[in-house]
Chain A
Amino acid sequence: MPINHPNLHLTQLAGAIPAWSGNIKPGDLQPICRNVHDGGGRLVALWGSDDREQGNGYSLHIALVNEAGLVCLSLSLPAGQPGYPDVSSIFPVANRMQRATYDLLGIYAHEGQDHRKWLRHGAWHGGSFPLRKDFDPAPSRTDDADNYHFVQVEGQGVHEIAVGPVHAGIIEPGHFRFSVVGEKMLRLEERFGYTHNGIEKRFESMSLQQGARLAGRVSGDSTVAYAWAYAMAAESIAAVTPPERALWLRALFLERERIANHLGDLGYLGNDVALSFGFTQFWILKEQVLRNNGALFGHRYLMDSIIPGGVAADLTDPGKRTLFEECSLLEREVRVLRGIYEEHAGVQDRFIGAGRIEPRLAAQLGLCGLAGRASSQAWDTRVQFPCAPYDQLDVQMATYRNGDVAARVIVRFDELFESLRLQREILARLMPGGELSLPLEKLPAQGFGAGMVEGWRGEVLVAVHTDTDGNLARVHPHDPSWQNWPAVEHAILGNIVPDFPLINKSFNLSYSGQDL
């Protein structure tokens, strides 16, 4: 059993990754979380659901991960007083998730330290909750201002810089409140939720197939990871395994997404330290990857290429040759560019020491993904819980311990080369012929499934609950940005304001992925 606790009875879920689910009582929530935390495990996601139509109240769901796999626990809450014990005192990262769950569903944590709203601004009343099944949008509408209480820093010479939601560059909207003395940053407080589009509510009116398209648009830069995680969750409920060819193609798509995003970020990191040469060079390479995607698979970002049951795009033999040539080109060029970055004194001067997250703090905050690995947090779903075909690929994890911008750049370079190696390996093993998908029209009734995929930014989780007719009752997509955004508030401490864009870019987190 992944977690040893006398009151815990887990059932293993069918599917691609080791995952379990179980029901617990309110009094067991904190001890179990403590148990997982002390064993080195982490909180992946926290969400709620309205189960009143099934004659229950509400439910709180949490997804935990430890060395054995993913554990999804559910806690029934009475409809009258849907409160649950606070998790954020054990996993600090739960803070924003608990607040968002209250804004959307009206279930709340007892004894929590921070009861401010998170995803709600002023578009609907504080007393109405969009994810309740009886939510009526018309009477809930308001046009109130946000009125969010930022923590104020006082003292001689302290002043605030308010940035956003509309930023100076081509960036998603969000608000950053800096408290500074001179150039030095004393505190950063983030305010998000600007791109809240009601994605979770939208899923509830969709078919399984429409849902796959929406999952691919939770955060556009991670479309492959989301589509795969969604498909994995659906396939877990239906207890089916896609054809082998489809699995190899999914891995190919996921690595290509990682390659494209790492190339783009490495270019922008050069640009942010005034080496526009880096932007020009890396974005030429990125454009070639995108053009090959468009020509071979019909979409530059591979949107809608993964569907529940398999894939919707194939690779021909000439296409394979194109990708082998692309691998050679990228390996050769990126090696030259890495040399230039490493030997450029100005670049290294800005990279080294900026935005540092020490490994201890990273562990405390539950930092994940590439930012986590740059601070010694050795988690990579492809390595620890390799779903097919990663179980045959022996992925080498890139880790580094300095936790600064330079470390995140090194991890990106290492992962880029590893993804190119994986792409070669996948192409070599991808045999011609074979089915691309199996029919998966509808899911069994009252099922639950979870999919977890290591996207380029970190682990993407999608949880799917079906209703008594097998329709989507609740879909919760979880972005690794939930884990990593709070860390940016720590990373900037003691740095100067002009280094914020660089530090922020070195994480490159998603706004839409956490705003939902």
Chain B
Amino acid sequence: MYQLIKQIIKTGIKTDAAPLPDEALRVTTQRLHEEILHVFGSALNIRHVDAGSCNGCELEIHSLSNAYYNIEGLGIKFVASPRHADMLLVTGPVSRHMVTALRRTFDATPEPKLVVAIGECACNGGIFCSNDGSPDGGGESYASCGRVANVIPVDVVVGGCPPTPTAILQGILTAVSAQKQ
């Protein structure tokens, strides 16, 4: 026990400052009232759904919980059920085998809710999908529906392969910040 306490004290506080919201990440006009966003902004529950990613984005979502990004210190928590969630954090191109599960998870999340698409694949299908035939670059294949917006409505997108924890945090904070008029 002595070693453990010594190690905690020696480690100290590592947390970096959180990034500011970035309006460029928002893909739809703000759907929720400012008051609701204000409440979300101080205590947000997130349900993560991997809809077909390579697990690269998951690594960075895990990193959000480390001492440097300390996401719980901002009042943001990952929860085990969509029924407890205010926001869905969705990764991957949506594989056809995950469409039903993703739709059901979305339906089980109570209104008002937000959806943030994380990573290149979630934004446009990424490397797994050919973007040639699609007019708006959604990317589809026999196994994949491409971007998340092809299956459920998306509020904010964060590109990158995978996006850094700071970029993911910025996407989350953008979704819960009021749009500047």
Q: Are B65 and A195 in contact (CB under 8 A)?
A: no
Report the Cα distance A140→B144, complex, angstroms: 13
- A195-B98 CB under 8 A given contacts A202-B141, A287-B63, A340-B4: yes
Cβ-closest 9 pairs across A and B = A220-B56, A198-B143, A123-B96, A168-B80, A137-B142, A283-B66, A220-B54, A217-B54, A197-B128
Report the Cα distance A124→B96, complex, angstroms: 9
A373 within 8 A of partner (CB)? no
- The 8 Å CB contact of B127, one of A213, A277, A510, is A213
| A residues near B56, Cβ cutoff 8 Å | 217, 220-221, 223, 301, 303
**B128 — nearest CB in chain A belongs to which residue?**
A197
Q: Are A287 and B3 in contact (CB under 8 A)?
A: no
B22-78 residues with Cβ-Cβ distance < 8 A to A are 48-63, 65-68, 78
Q: Are A195 and B142 in contact (CB under 8 A)?
A: no
Of the A-B pairs whose beta carbons lie under 8 Å apart in the complex, a sample of 14, sorted by A's number, is: A122-B97, A123-B97, A130-B142, A168-B81, A169-B80, A196-B143, A202-B141, A218-B54, A281-B11, A287-B63, A301-B56, A301-B59, A301-B162, A336-B3
B161 within 8 A of partner (CB)? yes
Report the Cα distance A301→B96, complex, angstroms: 27
Q: Are A220 and B95 in contact (CB under 8 A)?
A: no
Number of interface residues of B (CB under 8 A): 50
Q: Are B97 and A194 in contact (CB under 8 A)?
A: yes
Chain B interface residues (CB < 8 Å from chain A): 3-4, 7-8, 11, 14, 48-63, 65-68, 78, 80-82, 92-93, 95-101, 105, 127-128, 130, 141-144, 161-162, 164
Mask, A195-239, CB within 8 Å of B = 1, is 111110110010000100110011111010000000000000000
**Most B CB atoms within 10 A — which of A123, A214, A223?**
A123
- B126 nearest CB across to chain A (Å): 8
A512 within 8 A of partner (CB)? yes
Report the Cα distance A171→B55, complex, angstroms: 8
Q: Are B142 and A337 in contact (CB under 8 A)?
A: no
Q: Are A140 and B142 in contact (CB under 8 A)?
A: yes
Report the Cα distance A502→B42, complex, angstroms: 32
A280 within 8 A of partner (CB)? yes
Report the Cα distance A171→B162, complex, angstroms: 16
Q: Are A219 and B54 in contact (CB under 8 A)?
A: yes
- The 8 Å CB contact of B53, one of A141, A172, A281, is A172
Mask, A38-65, CB within 8 Å of B = 1, is 0000000000000000000000000000
